Amino acid sequence: MASNRIRIAVIDDEKVSGLRLQEALADQGYPTDFFADGESFLEIFDHAPHDLVVTDMKLPGVNGLEILRRVKARQPKTEVVVITGYASIDSAIEATRAGAFHYLTKPIRLAEFENLVARAIEKIELCHEAADLRALMMRGAGREGMIGTSPEMVELYRLIEKVAPLDCPVIIQGESGTGKELVARAIHRLSLRREAPIVSFNCGGFSQELIANELFGHEKGAFTGAFSSKVGLLETANHGTVLLDEIAEMPSDMQVKLLRVLQEGQIYRVGGNRSVNLDIRILAATNRDLETAVTDGKFREDLFFRLNVMTVALPRLRDREGDIWLLAEHFLQKISLDFHKRIKGFSAAARTALAGYDYPGNVRELENIVARAVALAEGDEIQVPDLPPFLAKRREGQPLLGSLESLEKDHIARVLAAFRGHRDQAAAVLGITRSTLWRKMKKFGLKA
């Protein structure tokens, strides 16, 4: 059965042959995005990855092999079928080595093509099912795979459980790498829409036209190059959930359009005059403070009001020190398995280094640090040299796990330095009287 969860792209600079493949896929029930060159494909793929990519090897500009590499680097689970023109087995073998699902040589026999696509799709569907199953298992044990027992995380789980069934828009706010996407998925799975798809779309760095095309789809002939009609992401997600990632980056004209769609509950495909009724729940993720973006005139107030029914704010990793440890252990186990390495744990010094860092990139940064360490580790324990040098440096510079007194001393010294010894100003900033400041300076041996 054709699944609407599978997104397919065909890239071919020869329109006739590309359209032939597109039609063959359409006959099997798979709507396909068609691209005449690699650049325009990659631009879309970066924002809304496809599950299966069929690409010609020889293309103007970025060639098929390069596309394959970029696709695999961004989304290893996407399957790629390459088509070689000149029975050039060498490049086909190179492509298979670089992770292509398979290759086909021209002239393409449709039966062979359809057979190959069916096998690729079977693999993709199995992979989706496994991911669903894993998520389901995780849900019982650890809230959609979210790790953390700090009061901030427990509060977050409670909030997710509360807002999930409400079927209202939710703004998910948090620094980069704090887990906004995980939270969005958790909300969807705990909602009444769980059987329908959740589709995510990154609004950043995209022109208005491209966003409209991706979100609303288009009718055949809507613009030059629209060889067939295309279902937009909003339609794909109908009865489900749409995660609009980096919502603050959405161009303002598009904000107007989105607001209209949400108010009217229907969309028109680009170039179309037939409306489609829409029943979707919007989750909007942002690492910026949307309220400030509204005040600064960067985000439309009317759209903000529409979306701002509930806000879920994610804690920063450095504000929940206890979780650093749990997460580090969790990633160590998971990544050692992936890398086929037997690593028991972290040395005491490595633990201290990990605990003392402030993780501007939050959980994702910690995950990357652990992955790098697992790759480098030689024995059965992660040692300090396996960690990035900036962790060790930071520890020598200023231990984060020091006593309150030493933090107080450092802080006073910094404020004094900032005001070049002006005690009145320093005391005012510190919120203490001049005489208290004087006593503390004496106690800590600080000079103005």
For Mg ion, the closer CB: 181 or 329: 181
Residues contacting residue 292 through CB under 8 Å, at least 6 positions apart:
none
How many residues contact Mg ion, by CB under 5 A? 1
Give the binding-site size for ligand ATP (rule: CB under 6 A).
17
- The binding track of 236-275 with respect to ligand ATP, each residue x by CB under 6 A or -, is ----------------------------------------
Nearer to ligand ATP, 81 or 160 (CB): 160
Is 29 exposed, middle or buried, given 0-12, 13-18 or 19+ CB atoms closer than 10 A? exposed
Figure out which of the listed residues 23, 46, 125, 181 binds Mg ion, where binding follows CB under 5 A: 181
The Cα angle at residue 362 between residues 361 and 365, in degrees rounded to 5: 60
Interface pick for ligand ATP out of 364, 394, 423, 440 (rule CB under 6 A): 364
Answer for which of 53, 104, 182, 369 binds ligand ATP (CB under 6 A) is: 182
Between CA 344 and CA 324 the distance in angstroms is 17
Place of tokens 């613009």: 223
Q: Does 94 bind Mg ion (CB under 5 A)?
A: no
Judged by beta carbon, residue 104 or residue 171, the one nearer ligand ATP is 171
Shorter beta-carbon distance to ligand ATP: residue 104 or 183: 183
Closest approach of Cβ 188 to ligand ATP, in Å? 13
Instruction: Return the number of the residue (189 or 218) whose C-beta is nearest ligand ATP.
Output: 189
Give min distance, CB of 132 to Mg ion, in A: 20
Q: Which of 346, 323, 324 is nearest to 333 (CA)?
A: 346
> Does 287 help bind ligand ATP (rule: CB under 6 A)?
yes
Q: Which stretch binds Mg ion (CB under 5 A): 5-13, 80-88, 181-189, 347-355?
A: 181-189
Which of ligand ATP, Mg ion, none sits in contact with 56, Cβ below 5 to 8 A by type?
none
d(CA 419, CA 415): 6
By the rule CB under 6 A, 139 interacts with ligand ATP: no
3-class DSSP state of 352: helix
**Quick check: 155 and 286 in contact, CB under 8 A?**
no
Q: Which residue has the tokens 């997710």?
A: 160
Distance (Å, whole) CA 34 – CA 18: 7
Pairwise CA distance, residues 258 & 271, whole Å: 17
Which ranges in 226-320 belong to alpha helices (H)?
Answer: 233-236, 252-264, 290-295, 301-307
Binding mask 365-404 for ligand ATP (x = CB under 6 A): --x-------------------------------------
Compute the C-alpha angle 194/196/201, nearest 5°: 100
Q: Cβ closer to Mg ion: 360 or 379?
A: 360
Listed in sequence order, the residues at least 6 apart from 132 whose beta carbon sits closer than 8 Å to its beta carbon are none
Residue 221 Cβ vs ligand ATP, minimum distance, rounded to whole Å: 36
**Which residues lie closer than 8 Å to 61 by C-beta, 6 or more apart?**
37, 38, 39
**3 state DSSP class of 31:** coil
| Alpha carbon distances (Å) from 299 to 100, 239, 242 | 42, 27, 19
Q: Which stretch binds Mg ion (CB under 5 A): 25-33, 142-150, 178-186, 405-413?
A: 178-186
CB of 184 to Mg ion, least distance (A): 8
Which positions from 334 to 363 touch ligand ATP by CB under 6 A, shown as an x/- string? -----------------------------x
Distance CA 338, CA 144 (A): 20
Query: How far is residue 72's CA from residue 87's CA, in Å, rounded to a whole number?
Result: 24
Applying CB under 5 A, does 66 fall inside the site for Mg ion? no
**210 near 44, Cβ under 8 Å?**
yes
- 146 lines the binding site for ligand ATP (CB under 6 A): yes
User: Least distance (Å) from ligand ATP to the CB of residue 411?
Assistant: 30
Residue 177 sits in the site that holds ligand ATP (CB under 6 A): yes
User: Does residue number 365 form part of the binding site for Mg ion (CB under 5 A)?
Assistant: no
79 vs 175, beta carbon nearer ligand ATP: 175
Asked if 46 touches Mg ion (CB under 5 A), the answer is: no
Q: In the chain, how long is the greatest CA-to-CA distance? A: 89
CA 124 to chain centre: 20
Residue 176 binds what, of ligand ATP, Mg ion, none (CB under 5 to 8 Å, by partner type)?
A: ligand ATP
Residue 152's binding partner out of Mg ion, ligand ATP, none, with CB under 5 to 8 Å set by partner kind: none
Q: How many residues does the chain have?
A: 448
Binders in 310-339 for ligand ATP, by CB under 6 A: 327
- Helices 362-376 and 321-338, interaxial angle, to 10°? 40
Does residue 200 interact with ligand ATP by CB under 6 A?
Answer: no
Residues engaged in binding ligand ATP (CB under 6 A)? 145-148, 174, 176-182, 287, 327, 363-364, 367
Residues engaged in binding Mg ion (CB under 5 A)? 181
